[in-house]
Amino acid sequence: MAERKSLGQEFSKGLLKENPVLRLVLGTCPTLATSTSMVNAIGMGISVTLVLLCSNIVISLLRKVIPSKVRIPAYIVIIASFVTIIQLLIKAFVPALDEALGVFLPLIVVNCILLGRAEAFAGKHKVLASAADGLGMGIGFTAAVFCMATIREFFGSGTLFRGADSLLGLFGVTSFTGIDVFSHIPGIEPILIFVLAPGGFFTFGLLMACANRIAERKGKPKAQLNSCENCPMAAACTMRGGACETDAKEAVNA
**Cβ pair 190, 153 in contact under 8 A:** no
> For residue 186, what pLDDT band results from cuts at 50, 70 and 90?
confident
**Cβ pair 78, 59 in contact under 8 A:** yes
Q: pLDDT tens digit string along 84-122?
A: 999 999 999 999 889 989 899 999 998 889 999 999 999
Phi, psi (rounded to 5 degrees) for 22: -90, -20
Mean pLDDT of 206-212: 91
Which pLDDT value is given to residue 70?
Answer: 93
Distances 40 to 3, 52, 100, 116, 141 between C-alpha atoms, Å: 36, 18, 7, 24, 13
Q: pLDDT tens digit string along 124-169?
A: 999 999 999 999 999 999 999 999 999 999 999 999 999 898 888 7
**Cβ pair 229, 252 in contact under 8 A:** no
pTM here is: 0.84
**C-alpha triplet 199, 14, 122: angle, nearest 5°:** 120
Distances 86 to 24, 47, 110, 130, 234 between C-alpha atoms, Å: 25, 7, 15, 20, 28
Which ranges of the chain would DSSP assign to H, the alpha helix? 2-12, 28-34, 38-61, 71-93, 95-101, 112-117, 127-157, 165-168, 197-217, 243-253
- The candidate with the shortest Cα–Cα distance to 59, out of 44, 45, 72, is 72
